[in-house]
Structure 1
Amino acid sequence: MDPGPGVLLRDATSEDAAACAAIYAHYVEHTTATFEEVAPSADEMAGRIAAAQERHAWLVAERGGAVVGYAYGGPFKAREAYRFSCEVSVYVDVTARGGGLGRALYAALLGRLESLGMRMACGGVTMPNDPSVTLHRALGFDEVGTYQRIGWKHGAWRDVTWFQKPLGDEGPPG
């Protein structure tokens, strides 16, 4: 997917941590898209980037030399049987939303995770969140269930609907 004119999709580095932390802080502080309640520091974000890249991936979208979005994958669960499944997320700076950047980031991330041997991508969406539901469906994710009243944020109980998308073939892992 084309990320748009002047946009570069690339692997994140520790130098991107402050920009990723700034993008994420908006979602932590003003939305229910994440259940974190305190925005992580740039140092914490650098650690998250490094951890994601050990077995999965963390990509950023850069426009005009500035990071305007990111997407990453990480372990779905810690048990060994889940090692070919991953949880994915994407965040786009509020000034860059609505132009297909999230879709391009997610598509690139899914391709990368498949090349790394992942066979199932899972994403949780705090409801309601029509843009995220639309994004997941557009990229071939299927809705598989909803945890009701699973998280408390901004003064209310929140539901999380889970989506999953197969990656690669269905044969045994290589």
Structure 2
Amino acid sequence: MSATTVTPAAIRPGVLGDLPALTEIYNHYVTGSNATFDVTPFSVPDRQAWFDHYAATGPHRLLVADADGEVLGYATSSPLRPKPAYDTSVETTIYCRPDAVGQGLGRRLYEALLAGLAREDLHRAYAGIAVPNDASVALHRAIGFTPLGTYREVGRKFGRYWDVAWFELALPYAKPRS
């Protein structure tokens, strides 16, 4: 599949059988991108604990985009911080297979994730984006996230320091007019 091919994909909760594909997608960004500050690729068993903390409902979700049994990408919501006063805030993350980028899949995943979160007792969603990453910044702005500020040189990867720009979205999510 090329980046110009638009493939219909079902958005559904992640299942354990997706874990190998989810790990492969994530490892692409671990080894070749500043999008995550993990620096060592994961094995599928290494990612089991990560997978296990997600549920089909509730504030901590994992949604996948599936086209004919192939996982093309995923979006998650996770606790922002472990202290109880943060329970109404989540951090969101999204990763797509490189050959699925630029097809609107990220936006569809995010909209499905945020629609599900609208039914929860949540107040804010946050996203941290290692910059530069123009595509991710554009996606978050298109969804309705607003910039908050930047942590300067907060992560070191590939022999250099990276900034992380933080974005915020009020919940429940109201889809922006396009």
What code does the residue aligned with 1:154 have?
Answer: F
Would the aligned equivalents of 1:56 and 1:116 in 2 still touch at CA under 8 Å? no
Tell me how far 1:55 sits from its aligned partner: 4.3
Structure 1 CA distance, aligned partners of 2:125 and 2:147? 12
* Residue matched to 1:172: none
Tell me how far 1:168 sits from its aligned partner: 2.1
Identical amino acids, percent of aligned pairs: 38
Task: Say if 2:100 is the partner of 1:96.
Answer: yes
1:80-100: CA deviations, max 9, x gaps? 110010000000000111000
For structure 1, which runs of at least 5 residues remain unmatched after alignment? 170-174
- Of 77, 81, 93 in structure 2, the residue corresponding to residue 77 of structure 1 is 81
- Of 52, 56, 60 in structure 2, the residue corresponding to residue 56 of structure 1 is 60
Tell me how far 1:70 sits from its aligned partner: 0.4
* Residue matched to 1:68: 72
- Of 123, 126, 132 in structure 1, the residue corresponding to residue 130 of structure 2 is 126
Would the aligned equivalents of 1:18 and 1:45 in 2 still touch at CA under 8 Å? no
Structure 2 CA distance, aligned partners of 1:109 and 1:63? 18
TM-score, normalization by structure 2 = 0.89
More divergent stretch after superposition (133-142 vs 5-14): 5-14
Distance 1:46 1:116, change over 3 A: farther
- Of 15, 19, 23 in structure 1, the residue corresponding to residue 17 of structure 2 is 15
* Residue matched to 1:24: 26
* Residue matched to 1:42: 44
* Residue matched to 1:158: 162
Q: Secondary structure at the match of 1:35?
A: coil
Tell me how far 1:5 sits from its aligned partner: 4.9
Task: Say if 2:129 is the partner of 1:117.
Answer: no
Structure 1 CA distance, aligned partners of 2:110 and 2:28? 19
- Higher percent of residues as helix: 1
Would the aligned equivalents of 2:59 and 2:117 in 1 still touch at CA under 8 Å? no
Give the count of matched residue pairs: 166
Q: Secondary structure at the match of 1:9?
A: strand
Let me know the Cα RMSD of the aligned residues. 1.4
Tell me how far 1:51 sits from its aligned partner: 0.4
Structure 1 CA distance, aligned partners of 2:47 and 2:11? 19
